[in-house]
Structure 1
């Protein structure tokens, strides 16, 4: 499955890019699976996703949890919580 991954704020800074297209392995079914897989790919991802409890996720611009399945979606956005002021 191919997925567009979009990164924001400190996640983008840690990885060094704002988005990428990735072919996900067949073993990746949820956002959590994707994070686990990416962490193993490169130390930049391990740093960016070191504290996944503090991250937020959107699939095709709809907010979801890390347990959300990826099937049927084209874009996963990953970002830290946003505060206003």
Structure 2
């Protein structure tokens, strides 16, 4: 399975990249997130309990299943004041 992963806002700044292509077997967005957070160091930012994600430009939950060719995005929750 080949996925394109995009990082936005603080996540992009923390991990130091906008996007990457990942190859592997991931049943869900959460499995992919755990894999990325397991890289340690700056990548642990993706282990945050509250984050937003999308699959193929549609907002979804971490339980969203993945398939080959999907485009995934991770971004922090938005707060305002």
Shift of 1:7: 0.4
Q: Is the 8 A contact 2:4 2:19 kept in 1?
A: yes
**Alpha-carbon distance in structure 2 between the residues aligned to 1:82 and 1:72:** 29
Q: How many residues align?
A: 81
Q: Match for residue 27 of structure 2?
A: 29
Q: Which blocks of at least 5 consecutive residues in structure 1 are unaligned?
A: none
Q: Match for residue 75 of structure 1?
A: 71
**Alpha-carbon distance in structure 1 between the residues aligned to 2:69 and 2:57:** 10
**Alpha-carbon distance in structure 2 between the residues aligned to 1:30 and 1:40:** 16
Which portions of structure 1, spanning 4 or more consecutive aligned residues, are displaced by more than 6 angstroms? Answer: none
TM-score by length of 1: 0.82
Q: Match for residue 57 of structure 1?
A: 53
Q: Is the 8 A contact 2:4 2:69 kept in 1?
A: no
Secondary structure (helix, strand or coil) at the match of 1:63 reads strand
| Aligned-pair Cα RMSD in Å | 1.8
**Alpha-carbon distance in structure 1 between the residues aligned to 2:56 and 2:38:** 25
Q: Structure 1's 23 and 72: CA in aligned 2 closer, same or farther, altered over 3 A?
A: closer
| 2:43 aligned to which of 35, 42, 45 | 45
